[in-house]
Amino acid sequence: MNFELKPLSLAEVAAEKCDAVLVLMGQEFKPARDGFSAFIGRALKDGDAQTAAGKILSAYQPGMTQARKVVLAGMGDGSAKSVRSAVVAGLAAVKSDRLKRLVLAFAGPASPAAIQAAVSAVADATYSYTTTKSKAEPRSLQSICVAAAADLKPAFDRAVAVVAGVEMAKEWANRPANHATPTLLAKAAQGLAKQARVTCEVLGPREAAKLGMGAFMAVAQGSEEPLRFIVLKYSGAAKTVAPTVLVGKGITFDSGGISIKPAAEMDEMKFDMSGAASVLGVFRTLGELKPAINVVGLIPACENLLNGRAVKPGDVVTSMSGQTIEILNTDAEGRLVLCDALTYAERFKPRAVVDIATLTGACVVALGAVRSGLFSPDDTLASALAAAGDAAQDLCWRMPLDDEYAEGLKTQFADVANVAGRMGGAISAAKYLQRFTAKYPWAHLDIAGTAWKSGAAKGATGRPVGLLVEYLLSQPAKASK
């Protein structure tokens, strides 16, 4: 899909050849003297059109434009949330197989946040997965012209780059597990290294054993697919600038292992590598934008299956940190692969480490599908991530990390158990991860409720690529110690 920005007036929008025009009307709109502006002004004056967010008025071949269809959509106060509502409602009114070129115009002032929200909403509303379909139906919309002031070009370019990252995350999370094995995920990461400033290293079982990644290897040993530990690096700043490390859970399919999951909706466990997919998406965006920052992406990728070699409840393994872990539940595997990756992250002397994982059903119960769970003992890091989520409309909510929540992780057979009781399960999972993060500022994003949708709209959301990119680009350079 091709996005372009043109500094067009409403009169010039009316002259653009396209299939549809979507006009976002703000509360401050004042019509000019041209026919199209006057049409919008009359519709508002008569009450047929409204500026309230999401309210629409459709017109078929109204005559004063080159478009077959015109939709006037209210964008309220022009905030990112209101703009998204307007675009979603407007596209629902014009969406059809015949829609190839769309002009999206702002009737009223547009902010950088509004531009970003509009571009993101158009991409989300028209996304179509095609990879494993014999008769694919790709998105019909091929070209989107955004009519807005030229000084909004930086915000527009950033939004388009984020869309590329979000759609890469969606692609890999949506793929069935046999089309997104650890090896294939590693090849996708290696493909990103074709971008400027991006490098990729892939470690296999032998290297993981040499590193002592006993927890990671324990999860992988029940599958015929070999594990892959993926190390992506984006180097946009001097070597003295400390990197931010992103750690993405890459369980390409999660059966639960010996603690097997119920059959219902188990197919959705292909989405258990959504954290890894989000890291790939972030690096796709970084390659487009080329910011002056350093970022490392770590993806421990494997399947959690069961065979004669699979890890058993009660087994004790030794993590890369040297801590021993009693595996009471093999379906709590994400924290096992993450803990070794969090220890590996120490070698980069990071300014901060953020892990992203579809970790717990308990987080879905707590926050639903609206906000990702945010856990961090560092107030500065937590505040920055929460603010980035607000700015990107990729929301999260900070959860507690009181030490009392770790009481259930105590065991007489190892240094720590991999699960506590049912109560506060998302928090005890985060407390487990915290044990491996003493040497740097750390945050954990539990995206189990936000990474994908179930039901008729089943599919990956691409979250939290937007949040992560916003956070990375908002941080000032900081030298390594």
pLDDT classification of 63: cutoffs 50, 70, 90 = confident
**pLDDT score at 310:** 98
What CATH number is given to the structural domain containing 281?
3.40.630.10
In a shared domain, residues 138 and 190 = no
- Match 């180097």 to its residue by tokens: 235
Q: Is residue 103 part of a domain?
A: yes
Q: Give the three-class secondary structure for 175.
A: coil
Q: Give the three-class secondary structure for 344.
A: helix
Provide the percentage of residues in the chain whose pLDDT is more than 90: 92
**pLDDT of 481 higher than 60:** no
Strands 324-327 and 315-318, sheet pairing:
antiparallel
pLDDT classification of 109: cutoffs 50, 70, 90 = confident
In a shared domain, residues 374 and 321 = yes
In a shared domain, residues 140 and 182 = no
In a shared domain, residues 133 and 176 = no
Beta-bridge mates of residue 241:
479
In a shared domain, residues 104 and 199 = no
**pLDDT score at 216:** 98
Q: Is residue 481 part of a domain?
A: no
In a shared domain, residues 195 and 135 = no
Mark residue 189 as left, alpha or beta (left: phi above 0; alpha: psi -120 to 50; beta: remaining). Answer: alpha
Half-sphere CA count of 292, side-chain side, radius 13 A: 6
Residues in the chain: 481
Spot the catalytic one: 335, 371, 435, 463: 335
Q: Clarify whether 335 is annotated catalytic.
A: yes
Spot the catalytic one: 101, 197, 261, 290: 261
Count CB neighbours of 284 within 10 A: 26
Q: Is residue 134 part of a domain?
A: yes
In a shared domain, residues 102 and 203 = no
Q: Clarify whether 42 is annotated catalytic.
A: no
In a shared domain, residues 307 and 426 = yes
Rounded to 5°, angle at Cα 193 from 192 and 194: 90
Rounded CA separation 360/418 (Å)? 13
**Burial of residue 342 (number of CB atoms within 10 Å: 0-12, 13-18, 19+):** buried
Q: Is residue 154 part of a domain?
A: no
What CATH number is given to the structural domain containing 111?
3.40.220.10
**pLDDT of 477 higher than 70:** no
Q: Is residue 153 part of a domain?
A: no
Beta-bridge mates of residue 55:
none
In a shared domain, residues 462 and 358 = yes
DSSP 152-187: GHHHHHHHHHHHHHHHHHHHHHHS-GGGS-HHHHHH
Mean pLDDT of the residues in the chain: 96
Q: Give the three-class secondary structure for 442.
A: strand
In a shared domain, residues 59 and 90 = yes
E strand segments, 204-293:
228-235, 244-248, 250-254
| pLDDT tens digit sequence for 253-291 | 999 999 999 999 999 999 999 999 999 999 999 999 999
**pLDDT of 479 higher than 70:** no
pLDDT classification of 136: cutoffs 50, 70, 90 = confident
Q: Is residue 156 part of a domain?
A: no
In a shared domain, residues 82 and 171 = no
**Nearest to residue 434, comparing CAs of 396, 477, 400?**
400
| pLDDT tens digit sequence for 437-466 | 999 999 999 999 999 999 999 999 999 999
Residue 131 domain boundaries: 2-148
| pLDDT tens digit sequence for 199-234 | 999 999 999 999 999 999 999 999 999 999 999 999
